[in-house]
Amino acid sequence: MEFSSQLLENAVAEIAQLPGIGKRSALRLALHLLKQPEAHTQRLATALTAFRKEIKFCEQCHNLSDAPRCEICSNPARDKSLLCVVEDIRDVMAIESTSQFKGYYHVLGGLISPMDGIGPQDLTLDSLIRKIDSGDVQEVIFALSATMEADTTNFYMYKLLGKFPVKLSTIARGIAVGEELEYTDEVTLARSINTRLPYEKSIQQ
């Protein structure tokens, strides 16, 4: 692309560094900003800078937080015997939106992925062990996605935490609510048959 303006070219190049945004979309976004009042761009730039500069990780659960300790960890009313291990803040938000979990979280900050050069040492596993070692936790729930990397991470944690007197569980995998059996992939269907549960248990929910 040949730009008539260096300023535009710089802006487009920077926007296009974001994942999933190509040069053409970046140009469209830059031209959009130009049609908006200047204050709009200023607000965007300030919000990004402030976020990147001032955001903290909760010292307890490693979730993103404005304070040294996040709101969930600061809430003494939650159940400290339950610890839910998740990949990142999006999973905390997803689980919180169900209002079904009253324990605390532990954010790993990633998943073990040799392909991407992410090993166990890049996750917050040391802090997880310290937390479990301190004794309050009775059950650790692995709430990771259903991907290969998540399975690897689950297994690693399973081995790592096996020596502690805590119950280790993972969230159920099976047919999503509303989904038709016919269109469910075999692996999911096989799992859901192998991990079947007593009917009475399924209607308690």
Interface residues toward a copy of itself, by CB under 8 A: 1-8, 10-11, 13-15, 17-20, 25, 27-34, 38, 40-55, 58, 63-66, 70-72, 88-90, 92-93, 96-97
What are the residues facing 14 on neighbouring strands? Answer: none
Amino acid letter, residue 83: L
> Are 109 and 88 a contacting pair, CB within 8 Å?
yes
167's enclosing H/E stretch is strand 167-170
Burial of 52-63, coded b for 16+ CB within 10 Å and e otherwise, reads eeeeebbebbbb
Of 45 and 187, the one with the shorter C-beta distance to a copy of itself is: 45
What are the residues facing 21 on neighbouring strands? Answer: none
Of 32 and 80, the one with the shorter C-beta distance to a copy of itself is: 32
Q: Least CB distance from residue 181 to a copy of itself, whole Å?
A: 28
Q: Least CB distance from residue 67 to a copy of itself, whole Å?
A: 9
Of 95 and 129, the one with the shorter C-beta distance to a copy of itself is: 95
Of 58 and 132, the one with the shorter C-beta distance to a copy of itself is: 58
Q: Least CB distance from residue 188 to a copy of itself, whole Å?
A: 23
In the structure encoding, which two tokens stand for residue 35, read together?
């049609």
